[in-house]
Structures are given as C-alpha cells and as structure tokens.
Chain A
C-alpha cells in the first residue's frame, strides 16, 4: 500500500467515523441554542467554539458530516445504477443507433452542470437536500456511462469475450457476467473520485441555499451563516472549510492510492 492510500483511508475513516458516532453521541446537542455562550472561540469547553446562537460547532460538524456523506454517496449510487448499465449497453451495441443515442444523450447531460440542474429543480420543487442528491446524481450518470463504455469496449476485443460469444451468450449476459466484474476496480476508483466531487458540490449547493435546509446541519450552510461574521469570528468559517478539505483530500488520496493499488501497471506513470 502506498503512503497516499494510507493517509487517504485514515482521513476518510476519520470523517466517516465522526458521522457514525454522531448518531449515538455528540459533545452537545447540535440544535440547542445557548445565547450567553455565543461566538466562543475554540477552547476547552467547546473544542471548535460556538456559533452565533451558542450552538456547539464540534457537534454541528459531526452531524454535518452525515449530510455531506449521505448526499454524495447516494448521488454516486444514482450515477452508477443508471450510468453503468447505459455504458455497458452502448459498448455491447457499439456503432449502432442505440450506442449513438446513449452517447449523444450523455453529451447533452454533460452540458448541464450540477449547479444548473439544481437551479432548475429548485425553481420547480423548492429547495432541499433531495434536490442536491438528484442534481449531483444526474451529473454523475454520464461520467459512469462514459467510463464503463470505454473500458467495456476494450474488453470486447479480448479473446475470452469472443469465447463467450462463441458459446452463444447474449450481449447482455456477457456484459453482466464477464465485462462488469472486470471493470469493478475502475468503477471503485471513479466512485471515490465522484464521491469527493459530490462532497464539494453538496457544500456549494447548500452554501447558495439550494441544498440542505435548516435545521439540517450542513457544512455549506454553516459557511453561508459564517459569511457575515468572518471578520470577528473567523473560526466559524475556518472549521467547516477545513472539514470539507480534510474529507475531499482524504477521498482523493484514497482514489489515487486505490488506482495504483488495484492496477499496478499504472504505478510507473504516476511516480
């Protein structure tokens, strides 16, 4: 295992652990306001300080991790569940109208940045964490479709696939039984990367008010609240920002490390 994989796993587990522990324990109740104790800087009583309502920031960060992880993870799930079958289907029917249709559809979805999708959904249905999930999820579909099509295409040229075809297996069956297991590593790596992009996107969407709504704590919302107070209480902005950076950095390092670990051939190029 490379160093970046170890650091990546350590940082990511830290965040996941914080999110899991928050279900059973947080230092304080993250919803309880304690106005006399407002805007405390980080210290002994409140490790990360308190916000303008006197809420404990450490607890809010822990619960916020839940929101970030849930949104990004479900969005990756949506992207994989729809994108991978589409990509495999396109590869199995390479050059056909179906392939063309799927790939052009992909290009079209690519033209809608997740922020734009979120704007559209919010304009129609109102704001909420579900919108962020859908917006980021839709954005993930063409990513997974493209990468699985590309990988599948090169596999279709291989002898063992030819053997399966000679044995009379259908395109769908070959895709599921032979192609999919062979692209799992690739999907895991890409999944990690999209997961980290999803964390960033969720933070951005909730920052502008298109994501999780109060009282659901979210790192992006905390940053939005911090904005007017940054001059006299910089910890309000610093801490959620560092939480985002640690998470994204951890996931990216893990993705890079996993790629090298799962595919040693690439190690040479990435010194």
Chain B
C-alpha cells in the first residue's frame, strides 16, 4: 500500500508540474502587456516600465514561472492587476461560496442517486425500474443552468420560497447561507444524480450476476440481505470513480450555475477577470481548479486501493 501510494503521489506531482507549465505558457502567449493595459493608451513609457518592474514583469519568463509556483506554495498568488489586492485573498473569499456549493451538490446527488440506483437494480425490468431509468434519461439531457432558471421561475418568482439570486453571506448564519445555496445546489445535483444513479444501477446489476451472490442466497440470506451485505458494497467501486470524476464536472458546473444565481463565487471572479484582462487571477483560478481535479482523482485512486486490495499491485 505504501509503495502504491508513493507511486501515485509521484505521478500526482508530475501532473501538477506539467499542468502548471501548460497554464503558464498559455497565459504568457496572451497578447497585450498587463502594465500598458492597466495604464491605458496615453501612459508615458517610463510609467509603464516602472509598473512592469513593480508587477515583476521585467524578469525572465522562467524566473517568473518559478516565482509563481514558489509563491503558491507559500499561499502567495501574486497581486491582481486591476484591484491591486492579493489574488490569494480574492480567491479565498470566493472559495467560501464555490466549495460549499460543490460539496452541497455532491452530497445531494449521492443522496438521490444511491437509493434510486439500488431501487432500480432490485426491480430490474419492472415498472419501477423503467420509471427511474426514464427519469435519469431525461435528467442527463437537461442542461443544469436551464434547470436552474426553471427552479428560479417556480420556487423563487412564483412560490417565493427562496430568493432568486445573490448570496447572503455566512455572516448571516449557517442556515441562511445554506438556504441561498439550496436552489443552485439542487440544479447542479439533479443532472449529476441521474448519471450516478445509472452507474449505481448497472454496477449493481453486474454484481448481482456474480457467483458469490448466488452463494449468499444459497446460504439462506434473503434477497434484500444479500443485496445490502454483498451487492451494494461491491458495486461501490465503480461508483466511487464516477463520484471522483463528477467532482470536476461539479466545479465546472458551479462556475456556470453561479452566473444564473449571481453568486459571488470563483466563476464570477474568473469571468470578471477575463473581461478586465486580469490574467494573473485567471491563471491562478485555473491552476486551482486543475489542482483540485488532480487531487480528487488521486484521493479516489487511494480510496480504491483501500477498498479493493487487488488494485494495489496494479500500476
């Protein structure tokens, strides 16, 4: 297990290094000089040069890359070109919206998908199964931001149970905060739950055909007991991978959903930064997103190996 973990950790670090180089290079080739952009077209060349020095733009590119990476290890993401505030602070503020939203959605989608998938698998081919599968087929086809707009129309505009957008802030209390994240989380979670339920069902159906399931029944367990004790547990392995993969979709999805609900999250930050050409912010947010995807997949791999010892020997 230790050997396996170290090996995976090595490839995690290499992935991160390569990803950071790719992101840095892409942002580097962006046309336009941030200093002249900030000062406008009428700026004196000396002023631009001074600002370039202040922003650290006049050192060689490789050194700027190393400074960027080194800074991130110390929690220093540089200074925003437009707001002149530390990027790390801006990101941290927004993360308090985006991360709880993604986690809330993940929890919701798991809570919906597990029972639905298990129910469908245990009633394979019967009306209950057909209904659940039909619903998931529809759920997969619905764009989450459109679903979000419909939720706003029904629950915020017509029924007035929730506010149509904005975030009250965690200062208003945990429940008030959760309340303003509820519609966004539901709209993110349902399409994901549809995918997850399908995976849960097909994975469970595969397991139900295994010999050990017949043995479990033969030794006297009822269908239900066999399903829960041996079936569900074994079916969780592929489901776990999908949950890991879904995390990246949820993060990306929350960036879009934040636009629907005017939530001050990472998505808003990144779109504002694109339009104001605040590329250092874009660079750091993108790196953070990619980092979290790589990290989650690494953790899923480890969890995998813990659940299923056979996988530890594989590379």
A residues adjacent to B (C-beta < 8 A): 104, 107-108, 110-116, 119-124, 196, 200, 203-204, 207-209, 223, 226-227, 230-231, 234, 237, 240-241, 244-245, 248-249, 252-253, 269-271
Contact = CB atoms under 8 A, between A and B. Distances in A.
B157 interface: yes
Contacts of A244: 141, 143, 146
Contacts of A223: 143, 145-146, 149
Contacts of A270: 202
Contacts of B273: 123
Given A113-B289, A249-B137, A241 B260 contact: no
Contact of A249 (B30, B138, B146): B138
A170 B143 CA distance: 46
30 contacts: A108-B18, A111-B15, A112-B290, A113-B248, A113-B252, A116-B252, A116-B286, A123-B274, A123-B279, A124-B30, A196-B141, A200-B141, A200-B143, A203-B143, A204-B144, A208-B256, A208-B271, A223-B143, A223-B149, A227-B149, A237-B146, A237-B149, A241-B142, A245-B141, A248-B140, A249-B138, A252-B137, A253-B137, A269-B202, A271-B125
Contacts, number: 126
Contact of B251 (A104, A113, A203, A241): A113
A220 to B, nearest CB: 8
Contact of A241 (B19, B150, B256): B150
Given A108-B19, A123-B30, A230-B152, 5 more contacts: A113-B289, A119-B282, A208-B256, A231-B157, A241-B143
Given A227-B149, A237-B150, A245-B142, A124 B252 contact: no
Contacts of B27: 120, 123-124
Contacts of A209: 271
B29 interface: yes
A120 B26 contact: yes
A115 to B, nearest CB: 4
B78 to A, nearest CB: 15
A248 B136 CA distance: 13
B206 interface: yes
B23 interface: yes
A102 B61 CA distance: 28
A200 B22 CA distance: 26
Q: How would you classify the secondary structure of chain A's contact residues: helix, strand, loop or mixed? A: helix
Contact of A207 (B125, B138, B256): B256
Nearest to B245: A110
Contacts of B137: 249, 252-253
Q: How large is the interface on B (under 10, 10 to 19, 20 to 34, 35 or more residues)?
A: 35 or more
A114 B146 CA distance: 19
Nearest to A107: B15
A119 B270 contact: yes
Q: Which of A104, A110, A111, A112 has the most B CB atoms < 10 Å from its CB? A: A111
Contacts of A248: 140-141, 143
Contacts of B14: 104
Contacts of B279: 123
B227 interface: no
Contacts of A237: 146, 149-150, 153
A252 B22 CA distance: 34
Nearest to B262: A227
A111 B202 CA distance: 26
A119 B274 contact: yes
A113 B18 CA distance: 16
B185 interface: no
B110 interface: no
B82 interface: no
A240 B293 CA distance: 31
A204 B143 contact: yes
B181 interface: no
Given A111-B19, A113-B249, A245-B142, A269 B289 contact: no
B294 interface: yes
A105 to B, nearest CB: 9
A207 B146 CA distance: 10
Contact of B286 (A119, A203, A240): A119
Contacts of B15: 104, 107-108, 111
Contacts of A253: 137
Cβ-closest 3 pairs across A and B: A248-B141, A241-B146, A115-B252
A253 B136 CA distance: 12
B259 A124 contact: no
A119 B272 CA distance: 11
Contacts of A111: 15, 19, 248, 290, 293-294, 297
Contacts of A121: 26
A244 B144 CA distance: 11
Contacts of A122: 274
B124 interface: yes
A111 to B, nearest CB: 5
Contacts of B152: 230
A253 B293 CA distance: 30
Given A241-B150, A249-B141, A269-B205, A230 B256 contact: no
B225 interface: no
Contacts of A124: 26-27, 29-31
